[in-house]
Amino acid sequence: MDQEQAQPTRREFLSMVGAVGGAALMYQAMAMMGVAKASSYNGPIQLGQAPEGTKVLILGAGLAGMVAAMELRDVGYEVEVLEYREKAGGRCWTLRSGDTYEELGGAVQQIDFAEGNYFNPGPWRIPYNHYGVLDYCARLAVELEPFIQINNNAYLHSASAFDGRPIRYREINTDYRGHIAELLSKVTDQGALDEVMTDEDKERLLTSLRSFGALNSDNEYVASGSASARRGYERYPGGGVDGAPIPNDPMDLSTVLESGLWRSLASAESLNTSMPMFQPRGGMDMIARAMEENLNGLIRYNKKVTSILQDDDGVTVTFEDGENGGASGTATADYCVCTIPFSILGQIEHNFSSSLSSVISTMHYASSVKVGLEFNRRFWEEDEHIFGGITYTDLPISMISYPSNDYFQKKPGVLLGAYSWGATSYQFSSLPHEERVAKALEYGAQIHPQYNEEFKTGVSVAWHRVPWVLGCYGLWQDKEAQYQDAVAMDRRVVMAGEHLSYLPAWMEGAILSSLDAITRLHDVATNN
């Protein structure tokens, strides 16, 4: 095989990264490749008045569909939304006590969380720079609270390092920085940078390295008060007779590097995972609920679209009406905004252009699995003083995310107990729900032994088994070549959704795509 043939595609590369390093490393790679970016949202859309008597049919009541519906309605379009499910939100979805979820294949989960607890199978955090989501939350009075992305007291874990013992994030982070700072100070002292730095800049660099790496006056990273003030103490500062702190010994550089735990240190430094981050109080679907309420009856539920046909005069959509025993129904409009995921749209009869049809038929959807675990008590807080944040591991669960709400409550709490991608998620997806939860418990107990005693109940969502999307988010076969064909106005139909953005898998991508789509639809409608 020649070198060109051996090169993996971007999608294959990201899948491999996800399989090896988990979701965090995959998102980091996406950010570096320009796949995941901060938002370009620059304020509420200004469309102008709709042509009188013009109707737009919107397919799908996820965030893209509901944003399109709200904005088009507000400028005078007649709007009708058809939604496959019994509720709005799409992947902006929260499971609570009393909810029922049936996945592809017929397996049913009855959610039995304690009152007030919830689990977000899809989006679970909002970056501070996703301005579109934040703006709609503000406009719709969705209350937000901080989401803790990085917690220095959470863990980094590898089954093959430190005899499988989890290590506090702050210890690895401090020791890695300290040793790197010491190495750089040595090469500076030895004259290796003389050709590229002035004497004044070298002195400034050494000063900054002492601060950055907690080095001593000899530019060494060793046990000291300044190092322990970051990584922790053998004996912490106290009062009375034994109040004096005792510094502990840092790990040597070889141990830190060999552990591989440094791989997760940059997980919170991409544009989309930098602090601060936010979450809606009470669950992510509070955003969807607010949009749904704003639309005030414009959404028709339990409508399974079976055909989308357009001609020079308009668009006709045929659907199975779940509220009427599956009877066939039709809806017509002058234009259509289609937010149905391409994984589903490829199974629906349509007469789109050949170029758009080609994109639809070749787009794959990423595999991902999330497992929510409820425990009888919040042992991570009570026993280990972890309040929010994420523990990263090379086990198949990839991470454990601790709730960023209800601190210090003497009641059950819900962890994100697994978030797997790539090959690992396919393995999880192949298991029955009960076994997915059992595996998440088995792996998580290697980090938190309390799992075995404190487990109460669990829920799992394998996104390739979610009937209304059949995957987590869209993956392009050739984005550079196909993107413009996919987002172009196709006579009287325009597509929208996270898959039609450069922010895949984020709610912001869905919103930006929707706003762009309705802008172009409005241009066509007002110039016809």
Distance (Å, whole) CA 435 – CA 428:
8
Q: Assess if residue 35 is contained within a domain.
A: no
Q: Which two tokens stand for residue 26?
A: 């995959």
Claim to verify: residue 357 and residue 486 sit in the same structural domain: yes
Claim to verify: residue 138 and residue 177 sit in the same structural domain: no
Claim to verify: residue 357 and residue 485 sit in the same structural domain: yes
Q: What angle do CA 451, 455, 456 make, to 5 degrees?
A: 170
Distance (Å, whole) CA 383 – CA 353:
60
Domain with 213 in it: what CATH number? Answer: 1.20.1440.240
Q: Assess if residue 129 is contained within a domain.
A: yes
Distance (Å, whole) CA 32 – CA 270:
8
Look at residues 167, 272, 274, 180 and name the one whose alpha carbon lies nearest to residue 221.
180
Claim to verify: residue 357 and residue 479 sit in the same structural domain: yes
Average pLDDT of span 317-343: 97
Picking from 413, 432, 465, the residue at the C-terminal end of a domain is 465
Q: Assess if residue 5 is contained within a domain.
A: no
Distance (Å, whole) CA 386 – CA 125:
18
Give 471-492 pLDDT, tens digit per residue: 999 999 999 999 999 999 999 9
Claim to verify: residue 230 and residue 358 sit in the same structural domain: no
Distance (Å, whole) CA 254 – CA 405:
38
Beta-strand pair 167-168/399-401: unpaired
Claim to verify: residue 63 and residue 120 sit in the same structural domain: no
Claim to verify: residue 392 and residue 247 sit in the same structural domain: no
Q: What angle do CA 509, 85, 135 make, to 5 degrees?
A: 30
Mean pLDDT score across all residues of the chain: 93
Please state the domain count of the chain.
3
Give 175-211 pLDDT, tens digit per residue: 999 999 999 999 998 999 888 999 999 999 999 999 9
Q: Assess if residue 295 is contained within a domain.
A: yes
Q: Assess if residue 264 is contained within a domain.
A: no
Q: Assess if residue 14 is contained within a domain.
A: no
Claim to verify: residue 448 and residue 398 sit in the same structural domain: yes
Confidence of residue 43 (pLDDT cuts 50, 70, 90): confident
Q: What angle do CA 21, 25, 26 make, to 5 degrees?
A: 95
Claim to verify: residue 400 and residue 424 sit in the same structural domain: yes
Q: Assess if residue 519 is contained within a domain.
A: yes
pLDDT at 150 > cutoff 90: yes
- Which residue segment(s) compose the domain that 181 sits in? 168-258
Domain with 419 in it: what CATH number? Answer: 3.90.660.10
Claim to verify: residue 449 and residue 376 sit in the same structural domain: yes
Distance (Å, whole) CA 360 – CA 344:
9
pLDDT at 7 > cutoff 80: no
Claim to verify: residue 421 and residue 452 sit in the same structural domain: yes
Q: Which residue has tokens 């002035």?
A: 198
Q: Which of 106-110, 198-202, 340-344 has the lowest mean pLDDT?
A: 198-202
Q: Assess if residue 8 is contained within a domain.
A: no
Picking from 465, 489, 515, the residue at the C-terminal end of a domain is 465
Query: Which three-class secondary structure string do you get for 315-359?
Result: EEEEEEEHHHCCEEEEEEECEEEECCCHHHHCCCEECCCHHHHHH
What is the pTM assigned to this prediction? Answer: 0.91
Claim to verify: residue 388 and residue 358 sit in the same structural domain: no
